[in-house]
Amino acid sequence: MTSTVPFFITDLGDSAVTGTIAILFAAYLFIVGEKRMAAAMLLAFAGTGTLIALGKIILYNRCTATPLILDLRSPSGHSAVSLAVYGTIAAIVSSAVPPRWRAAPYIIAVPFVTMIAVSRVLIHVHTRADIAVGAIIGLTVSYGVWHFLIRGRHADIKWKTSALLLPAALVALHGLRFPAEKYISHIATYLQNLLSLC
């Protein structure tokens, strides 16, 4: 694996990319009358993003460079949000395809999300504990969204069109970045100063 490949892959999990995809897919679902599925898509992104931000703020420690728990420094937002967004898309598309193809969206999504998570370790941004905690958060939110909003329902969407448009959107959005870590660290520093934690 060349050094540029992990950076290329990790960009596909940036919140600017996953958030835009979540919004675009939710808009499409809303337009075709699948309002419940559109809500599921937005909730997967917003819910996971909120939990990750809270986790990062809680674990952020400018007073010392040592991790608070094992090797956990900061839960991976890329791992969490990628799992929640791409996993929810897989669940929605799976509900729309013929029964014999129901596993296909998951078979594609699982290695894709795994590559994004592993890329965070390969580029030395997160530890394995960080991506594991991020994955647990993303999986928990996406499971909750699936259980309450998607399970047992059929999405009336043109799944073949969705299957073609998602890779096109990934190509178009690749390289788009949102510096979430910077903003979260500013908030955490402000709170630590406000509460005199150091």
What local confidence, expressed as pLDDT, does residue 135 receive?
Answer: 96
Contact 86, 113 (CB under 8 A): yes
pTM of the model: 0.89
Instruction: Assign 80 to helix, strand or coil.
Output: helix
Please state the rounded mean pLDDT for residues 171-193: 80
- What is the domain partition of the chain in residue ranges? 4-194
Around 98, how many Cα atoms within 13 Å sit in the side-chain half-sphere? 2
Phi, psi of 174 (to 5 degrees): -55, 135
pLDDT category, 19, cuts 50, 70, 90? very high
| Torsion, CA 117, CA 123, CA 56, CA 112, rounded to 10 | -20
User: For 28-64, what is each residue's pLDDT tens digit?
Assistant: 999 999 999 999 999 999 999 999 988 888 887 656 5
| Mean pLDDT estimate for the chain | 89
User: For 73-119, what is each residue's pLDDT tens digit?
Assistant: 889 999 999 999 999 999 999 999 999 999 999 999 999 999 999 99
Please state the rounded mean pLDDT for residues 15-21: 94
Please state the rounded mean pLDDT for residues 16-34: 95
